[in-house]
Amino acid sequence: MVSETNIRARYSETDQMGVIYHANYLNWFEIGRTEFFRKLGKDYRELEEENVLLPVIDVGCKYIKAAKYDDEIIIKTKLVKLKGVRLEFNYEIIRKEDNVLLAEGYTKHAFVDKQLKPINFRKKYKDIWNKLKEVLE
CA 12 to chain centre: 21
**Full DSSP string of 53-101:** B--EEEEEEEE-S--BTT-EEEEEEEEEEEETTEEEEEEEEEETTTTEE
Catalytic residue among 15, 58, 70, 113: 15
Residue 2 backbone class (left: φ over 0; alpha: ψ -120 to 50; beta: rest): beta
* Residue 71 known to be catalytic: no
Residues noted as catalytic: 15
